[in-house]
Amino acid sequence: MPHDQGGRKICVLCGADCAGRPRKKDSRGHYYCRDCHDAAAAAARRRAGEATPVGGLALLNELVPADDATGNPVDAGFHLDGLMCPRCHAPVERDAALCVACGADLRTGGRVAARTRVTDADDAADTLVWPMIIGVISIVFGGTGLLLNGGNGVLVALSPGPAGAPNGTSEYAVGQIAGAAIATLLSLWLLVGGIGLVRRRARAIENLRRWAGAKIILLFIAGTCIGIAFGVSGLDGRPGRAASINDALPLGLGLLIALFAWQLAWPVFILAWSGRSAVQREVRSWDD
């Protein structure tokens, strides 16, 4: 209904009579003092970040007559195509149900509260940051292992061998060099997988899972070999040899178990974490 009451032009924002004053009018006959209109439009632009959807929030698009029925000049400007939100005075579309600036329900005048529903127990905020955390830890472990194992292999290869034999050619040295080479390759594998995870490459998760499986298998093989070596040493018939081994066995066994537990911790964690449904869903969304 037009707010033209017997020649009075009532501003819908401040309630003042703007007849004979610079004013603006929307397509439904609502009048606005120019100052009220400009202030509300500026506030709406700030709230909406000056992002105006096509077909909505168009502020200036239709001329009003140069004078009204009383002959008083009307500000030669433009009117609002649509309505204003009753809460924040932001322009809204004619048939809009919600105000995009403040979230008000234009049918009831209330404010709509957004609710987030978690449908999977595995869905958590950490799914947004875990690639960086796990990737960086993998890079640190892989880089450190690469330096230590690679350096150890080089040192053993350069160490003096038996008299008259080339360096690093004793049976013990050859075994150490082979072990260092395998450990170096595993460290490089982990390093590359960590870099891919930081970059959110889907194949990085599969590479890390394969690395974890290979690491666990090799640890069990190494543990079996070390156990056999302990057993063979205990069968040595030299006097006092078996007794000295038995004395050192508890300490050596404890250190060995601690070392294997440390080496197993990260691959077991990788396998357990990457098997979570939330992680698998997120990985499928990555661009490879």
**How far is residue 199's CA from residue 217's CA, in Å, rounded to a whole number?**
28
Is the model's pLDDT at 44 over the cut of 90? no
Task: For residue 232, name the pLDDT band (cuts at 50, 70, 90).
Answer: low
Q: CB–CB of 59/80 below 8 Å?
A: yes
Helix, strand, coil shares, percent, the chain, to 5: 50, 10, 40
**How far is residue 162's CA from residue 171's CA, in Å, rounded to a whole number?**
10
258-272 core/surface letters (b: 16 or more CB in 10 A; e: else): eeeeebbebbeebee
Q: What is the pLDDT of residue 77?
A: 36
| pLDDT one-digit tens code per residue, 45-96 | 776 554 444 433 434 333 333 334 333 434 333 334 446 777 777 777 767 7
Containing 24, the helix (H) or strand (E) segment is: strand 23-25
**How far is residue 28's CA from residue 62's CA, in Å, rounded to a whole number?**
13
**How far is residue 48's CA from residue 54's CA, in Å, rounded to a whole number?**
14
Mean pLDDT of 26-30: 71
Q: Which of 28-37, 141-150, 161-170 has the lowest mean pLDDT?
A: 161-170
CB within 8 Å of 216: residues ≥ 6 apart: 264, 267, 268
Mean pLDDT of 161-179: 64
Task: For residue 125, name the pLDDT band (cuts at 50, 70, 90).
Answer: very low
What is the overall mean pLDDT for the chain? 73
Rounded to two decimals, the pTM is 0.49
Q: What is the pLDDT of residue 210?
A: 95
- Cα–Cα distances (Å) from 21 to 5, 16, 33, 73, 282, in that order, read 15, 11, 8, 8, 60
Is the model's pLDDT at 189 over the cut of 50? yes
**How far is residue 163's CA from residue 15's CA, in Å, rounded to a whole number?**
108
CB within 8 Å of 228: residues ≥ 6 apart: none
